[in-house]
Chain A
Amino acid sequence: MATSMVLGQVLWDSLLYRYRSLVTFSGTIVAGFELGNAFDWRDFTSFRVPTGTSTISLTLPLSLSGSVSIDSFVMWCVSNGTGLNLVATLKKNGTTIGTVTAGATSGITWNDLSPSVTVSALDVVTVVFNNATGSTMDIRQISFGPKVTFPIGQWSGINPPTLYQGVVVENVFSVNGSIIGRNIRRLEKQGSINLTHLAESWVRTTWDAFIQNVARHAFFYRWNPVGYPAEVAFAAADQINAPTNMMPPPLMQVQLGLKLITQ
């Protein structure tokens, strides 16, 4: 059991999505599995990586003021009946800054970049895929950018998203009382982010920007980066409650209901 405070993390600010109109790809596109599906924040579309080496390129626009710190590189891959063997290498101006190797089965892999890398206008960020096996490799989402680590822990109410979730079971009885069938309905994975005793300034800057984004888009959520760093969920806001003040002032509390998908 964890004895210290668990600080959850989210990655919502994807540079690929933010500058999606500037993204290019070197390989062959499969109709229906277009490149844009890889960073559209949707769980039902996917991008098919061709065999061999191919590259996603993003040249950051001149209009980018200041710099952006990239500290996370997340990839959600789908197995199509064959073991995955896809290596994605993140580079800044040709220099490797991070690598994600997809696991043997479908799932989300979150790679922390340490140290983080700062990029600014006209920098070229690339993701180089090496699909050596020639198997069909689909990427549901790929994202890199600055993660948000919550400043306060959440002691209870967390639903570890990779655990077996709720199921509604209905037994079907015949007129004479025999069980003749059973239907099940898997409940959606749900969770919530409940943070209390937050500094007012953090809520007004970091949280508010996050919430404005998640009202429209999904994001990646890691509930326990220390104890269970592999338990990453693709999350979508279910209910966003307004932040409120709490005692003692000027502390604040926030609450966000979630739908969670792990694969």
Chain B
Amino acid sequence: MTKKRFHELGVYARALADEMGLRDWTFVTLDQEPETPPEYNGTDFRAEATCTPTPGQHTAVLRFRSDFDENRLEDIRNTVVHELLHCHMQAMHEMCRSVLLNEISQSTYNVFMGGFDMNWEYAIDGISRAWAAKLPLIQWPVEKRK
């Protein structure tokens, strides 16, 4: 992804966040590869993007794959809306994670959070796909040919 496109992606995420009721949130878009969760090692799944909210704050870090801009515009929109929607629901996720982390064994915690995250992602994705269809597509800047 060119620097111009990476910048535009940050502008686009900000605009969608404003539309999605996240005007009070601050987003930092980092030029770093998103980490695919380790449980998907050895599968074809790879994270296109991640959103990492700061615990207890209305700030989050967005990361996109370096070839994220090669996706269809509709898929880019779905992914950005999905990641941003996590912010609305983050407090509940963070509460469960932090409360249980020190109260139960590591293995029980892993099993619980595995089930929690799976249910969580399905819920977020169902809503975000519906919502994304009502929001604008990204318009990549025209780049001069060399």
Is A bound to B?
no
B interface residues with partner A (beta carbon < 8 Å): none
A interface residues with partner B (beta carbon < 8 Å): none
